[in-house]
C-alpha cells in the first residue's frame, strides 16, 4: 500500500503560510475571549463581599450595631450616583402633619421599594418608587452584611447642617418588628442622638443619659428591637456642617400592609 507523506517545507509552501495566518487569527481570538472572560470576572468581583467590624451600642432598652460598610471613596461614589438617580418628593408627600397641622419638612425625602408598597408616617402616606441600580446595590450590600432582607428604603437628603430631623420613633404598624432598621449614611458626617422616652422634656420622670453618635460617611447603623419602643432618635441642626448628606433607612414593610389596587 502506498503511503502518502507530505514533505513540503515550512517556508516555501503558500498553504502553510495561510494555515499559520489562520492559527494566528484563532490565537488572537482566543486571547481576546480570555481577556473578556477576565473582565467579566473582575466585574463580578465588584459585588459587595467584604466583612465589616461591628461595634455594639447598648443601653437600657437600646440595642444597636454600628460598622463602616463602605470606604469614604465608595461612599462618595454612591453619593454622586444617588444625586443623579433619586427623585425627591414634592407636594403633599414632602410635608408632615403634627397634631393636625401641616409643615414642610426641613430636608428632602424620597421612598423606594418593592412594587405596591406604601409607608405612612407623620400623617402622610408615601408610595415606593421602583428600586434604582445604586439603591439595589446598597440594599444587597446591607443584606449580605446583616443577613436581613428589606423591601423598602426611606431616603433623607440634608443640604447642609441646617436641615435636620426632629425626635421620633420608627414604630409604625407597617414595619416588621422582627427586622432591624438599617441606616446607611453618605456625605457629611452628622451627629445622631437617642433619647429615652422617660427622659424627654422638662417633666421627664427619669434621668437617663442620651446616647450620642456621629454617623460617618459609609457607616451602617442597625437599630434592633426593642430600641424603637423605648428610644426616640433625632438628627439635630449643626450649623457648622456645610456639606450635604444622604441617609438611607432600609426597612421591611409587612406585606399585608401592601396597597390594595
Ligand atoms: O438621617 C438620619 O440619620 C436619620 C434618619 C431617621 O431618623 C429616619 O429615617 O427615621
Cβ 126 under 6 angstroms from ligand 1 = no
Cross-strand pairs, 231? 196
Cβ 170 under 6 angstroms from ligand 1 = yes
At 9 the pLDDT is 38
Residues in the chain with pLDDT < 70?
A: 1-24, 31-46, 257-261
**Separation of CA 156 and ligand 1 centre (Å):** 7
Per CATH, the homologous superfamily of domain 55-257 is Alpha-ketoglutarate-dependent dioxygenase AlkB-like (2.60.120.590)
Nearest CA to ligand 1 atom 3: 247
Given the DSSP bridges, would you call strands 118-121 and 108-113 parallel, antiparallel or unpaired? unpaired
At 2 the pLDDT is 37
pLDDT per residue as tens digits for the range 21-43? 666 677 777 766 666 555 544 44
Cross-strand pairs, 110? 155
**Separation of CA 109 and ligand 1 centre (Å):** 10
Cα Rg for the chain, rounded, in angstroms?
28
Given the DSSP bridges, would you call strands 101-104 and 55-59 parallel, antiparallel or unpaired? unpaired
Cβ 235 under 6 angstroms from ligand 1 = yes
Tell me the domain boundaries of the chain: 55-257
At 35 the pLDDT is 65
Cβ 233 under 6 angstroms from ligand 1 = yes
**Separation of CA 165 and ligand 1 centre (Å):** 7
Angle formed by the axes of helices 72-85 and 133-146, nearest 10° = 140
Amino acid at each position: 500500500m502506498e503511503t502518502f507523506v507530505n514533505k513540503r517545507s515550512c517556508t516555501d509552501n503558500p498553504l502553510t503560510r495561510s494555515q499559520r495566518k489562520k492559527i494566528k487569527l484563532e490565537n488572537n481570538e482566543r486571547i481576546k475571549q480570555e481577556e473578556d472572560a477576565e473582565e467579566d470576572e473582575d466585574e463580578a468581583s465588584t459585588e459587595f463581599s467584604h466583612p465589616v467590624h461591628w461595634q455594639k451600642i447598648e443601653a437600657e432598652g437600646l440595642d444597636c450595631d454600628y460598622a463602616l460598610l463602605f470606604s469614604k471613596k465608595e461612599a462618595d461614589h454612591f453619593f454622586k450616583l444617588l444625586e443623579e438617580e433619586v427623585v425627591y418628593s414634592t407636594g403633599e408627600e414632602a410635608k408632615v402633619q403634627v397634631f393636625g397641622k401641616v409643615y414642610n419638612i426641613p430636608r428632602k425625602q424620597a421612598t423606594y421599594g418593592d412594587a405596591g408598597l406604601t409607608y405612612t408616617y407623620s400623617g402622610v402616606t408615601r408610595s415606593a418608587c421602583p428600586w434604582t441600580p445604586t439603591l439595589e446595590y446598597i440594599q444587597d450590600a446591607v443584606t449580605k452584611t446583616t443577613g436581613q432582607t428589606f423591601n423598602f428604603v426611606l431616603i433623607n437628603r440634608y443640604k447642609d447642617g441646617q436641615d435636620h430631623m426632629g425626635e421620633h420613633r420608627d414604630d409604625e404598624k407597617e414595619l416588621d418588628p422582627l427586622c432591624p432598621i438599617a441606616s446607611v449614611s453618605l456625605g457629611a458626617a452628622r451627629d445622631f442622638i437617642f433619647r429615652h422616652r422617660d427622659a424627654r422634656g422638662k417633666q421627664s420622670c427619669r434621668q437617663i443619659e442620651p446616647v450620642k453618635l456621629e454617623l460617618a460617611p459609609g457607616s451602617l447603623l442597625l437599630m434592633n428591637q426593642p430600641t424603637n419602643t423605648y428610644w426616640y432618635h433625632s438628627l439635630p441642626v449643626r450649623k457648622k456642617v456645610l456639606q450635604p448628606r444622604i441617609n438611607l433607612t432600609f426597612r421591611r414593610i409587612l406585606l399585608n400592609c401592601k396597597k390594595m389596587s
